[in-house]
Amino acid sequence: MIDFHAHILYGLDDGAENLEQSLMLIDSLKKQGVDTIVAAPHFYFNNITEDGFFAFREQALCKIREAESDVKVIPACEVYISKSFPYTDFQRYQVANTGYILVELPHRTSLSKHIYDILLNIINVHGLTPIVAHCERYPAVLSKPGIIAELIEIGCLIQLNTSSLFIGALKNLALKMLACDQVHVIGTDCHNDRRMPIYQDAVNLIRERFGTEKLNRLHRNMELLLEGRRIEVVKPKKIKRVFRFYL
Ligand SMILES: [Fe+2]
């Protein structure tokens, strides 16, 4: 099984702080049935140079691969697309060389035109497909969940955090997104001993609520994406929010 979003690479962000913590997170994921991890440290273009970031990432990746050979670790990054993010060459940010790029959007109450323009630039100019990290967590999406369908319509894919299925404020939307096929990949977004991975419980919940077929489709999607192949995307219907319910 694949965890498509984890901060297991140490020393790069607010995830694992050292090799020991990296291995502790990997061990927890292994015990939950995960054999492939997309390692996606935050990349904030204001905080570090690209060259510095990729050098640190390579260093952490090598050390982890030396110490742990049962699990496949795929290099990626979670690129924060802020209001001031430059139009840059996005190729280096890909999940391995798959043509997919994991992006984090601003945690604000609305998404500006600039954000959509950057996403369209990634798609149309660079030929990459953005995967929107933990789409259910953004305040803009929680209040206007129709945004998810808009993002899919312009060519983005959607990643759900497995932990959101167990967080009161996010659970209803997370379940609705799964019901409407508006989730393409899942990830734990685990960081450290305070944000440990919750994978097996989420997999069980998805199987119980939606059946094995939906779960298998998610796994198949993730396998295909890591092979750089396309997945089937269901034409999205806009989810509406009425009070705290998602319809
Ligand atoms: Fe993350």
Give the distance (Å) from ligand 1 centre to CA of residue 6.
Answer: 6
In the numeric block, the tokens 């954000």 are attached to: 115
Cα dihedral angle (223, 228, 231, 237), rounded to 10 degrees?
A: 110
Give the distance (Å) from ligand 1 centre to CA of residue 203.
Answer: 19
* 218 torsion bin: left (phi>0), alpha (psi -120 to 50), beta (else): alpha
Per-residue b or e along 109-144, where b marks 16 or more CB atoms closer than 10 Å to that residue's CB: eebeeebbebbeebbeebebbbbbbbbbbbebbbeb
Give the distance (Å) from ligand 1 centre to CA of residue 39.
Answer: 10
Strands 78-80 and 100-104: parallel
Give the distance (Å) from ligand 1 centre to CA of residue 78.
Answer: 6
Give the distance (Å) from ligand 1 centre to CA of residue 126.
Answer: 23
pLDDT per position in the chain (247 positions), as tens?
Answer: 999 999 999 999 999 999 999 999 999 999 999 999 999 999 998 888 999 999 999 999 999 999 998 999 999 999 999 877 777 788 999 999 999 999 999 998 889 999 999 999 999 999 999 999 999 999 999 999 999 999 999 999 999 999 999 999 899 999 999 999 999 999 999 999 999 999 999 999 999 999 999 999 999 999 999 999 999 999 999 999 999 899 9
Give the distance (Å) from ligand 1 centre to CA of residue 154.
Answer: 23
Give the distance (Å) from ligand 1 centre to CA of residue 216.
Answer: 23
Cα dihedral across residues 30, 222, 204, 163: positive or negative: positive
Give the distance (Å) from ligand 1 centre to CA of residue 40.
Answer: 7
Alpha carbon distance 218, 111 (integer Å) = 27
Instruction: Please choose, from the candidates 9, 6, 28, 27, the residue with its C-alpha nearest in 3D space to the C-alpha of residue 18.
Output: 9
Instruction: Please choose, from the candidates 198, 190, 228, 231, the residue with its C-alpha nearest in 3D space to the C-alpha of residue 40.
Output: 190
Give the distance (Å) from ligand 1 centre to CA of residue 69.
Answer: 23
Give the distance (Å) from ligand 1 centre to CA of residue 133.
Answer: 7
Q: Write down the pLDDT at residue 88.
A: 79
In the numeric block, the tokens 């601003």 are attached to: 106
Close Cβ partners of 112 (under 8 Å, ≥ 6 residues apart): 83, 106
Give the distance (Å) from ligand 1 centre to CA of residue 42.
Answer: 7
Give the distance (Å) from ligand 1 centre to CA of residue 230.
Answer: 23
Give the distance (Å) from ligand 1 centre to CA of residue 10.
Answer: 13
Q: Where do the domains of the chain lie? A: 2-246
Alpha carbon distance 171, 16 (integer Å) = 26
| CATH node for 2-246 | 3.20.20.140
Q: Write down the pLDDT at residue 97.
A: 95
Q: Which whole-number Å values give the CA distances from 211 to 55, 82, 160, 206, in the listed order?
A: 42, 37, 17, 7
Give the distance (Å) from ligand 1 centre to CA of residue 137.
Answer: 11
Give the distance (Å) from ligand 1 centre to CA of residue 101.
Answer: 13
pTM, whole model, 2 decimals?
0.97
